[in-house]
């Protein structure tokens, strides 16, 4: 396993949204992004909060995110079993009355859709 390295990398000129590799939060990226590498392999972009907090606090944030992901995985396992037991999407026409669904921008909460 190669050593981890923090670097800035040149990206696109237009602002875009990215997800922090460590804490999972969405953040805006401009022309330059803070990146975490393992050797020459880019692992992902880091949000300003993780960069500014330093490696120790960023590790705390990464562990908290890992716990959130484990909880979500457990919830999804239970949900998958319940969906499987449904057999069909009966009642789906009533659900459409609320309108089509679109993903909302995430600000830390990796779940959630809201009617448009």
- Give CA–CA dist 115/73, Å, rounded: 24
- Give CA–CA dist 3/1, Å, rounded: 7
How confident is the prediction along the chain (116 residues), in pLDDT tens digits per residue? 789 999 998 877 778 899 999 999 999 988 888 999 999 999 999 999 999 999 999 999 999 999 999 999 999 999 999 999 998 887 666 555 555 666 554 444 444 444 44
- Enter the pTM of the model: 0.69
Give the residue extent of every domain in the chain.
1-82
Hey, is 37 helix, strand or coil?
strand
Hey, is 2 helix, strand or coil?
coil
H helix runs in the chain, sequence order: 48-86, 92-95
Distance of CA 100 to the CA centre of its chain: 23
């Amino acid at each position: 396993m190669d050593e981890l390295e923090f670097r800035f990398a040149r990206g696109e000129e237009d602002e875009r949204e990215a997800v922090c590799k460590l804490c999972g939060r969405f953040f805006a990226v401009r022309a330059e992004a803070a990146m975490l590498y393992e050797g020459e392999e880019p692992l992902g972009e880091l949000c300003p909060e993780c960069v500014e907090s330093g490696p120790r606090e960023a590790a705390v944030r990464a562990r908290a995110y890992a716990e959130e992901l484990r909880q979500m995985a457990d919830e999804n396992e239970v949900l998958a079993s319940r969906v499987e037991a449904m057999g069909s999407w009966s009642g789906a026409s009533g659900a459409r009355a609320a309108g089509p669904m679109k993903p909302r921008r995430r600000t830390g909460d990796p779940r959630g859709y809201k009617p448009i």
